[in-house]
Amino acid sequence: DTGAITHHIGPDIDAERDFLIGDLTNAGMLASTSEIAGIGATKTGRNGGGDPYFTDGKAVIGVLKPLP
């Protein structure tokens, strides 16, 4: 326990990443995206609150379009 106020997370980090990038893309909000190596893959991760997670370890950088 970190003592910090937090929330529970869903374990499939990659699905959340893909949903967010997909949603922003479909809304026309992204100028570009780039995939980079992230922290590395894990099947047995746990966040600071103890919630389990798994990931392929990749990160996607989304550049937002400027507002008019």
Burial class for 37, CB neighbours closer than 10 Å (0-12, 13-18, 19+): exposed
- Whole-number pLDDT of residue 11: 96
Q: What is the pLDDT along the chain (68 residues), one digit of tens a residue?
A: 567 777 889 999 999 999 999 999 999 999 999 999 988 999 999 988 889 999 999 999 999 999 88
- Whole-number pLDDT of residue 1: 59
- Whole-number pLDDT of residue 10: 92
Burial class for 19, CB neighbours closer than 10 Å (0-12, 13-18, 19+): exposed
Q: Which residue is listed with tokens 């190596």?
A: 37
pTM as predicted: 0.81
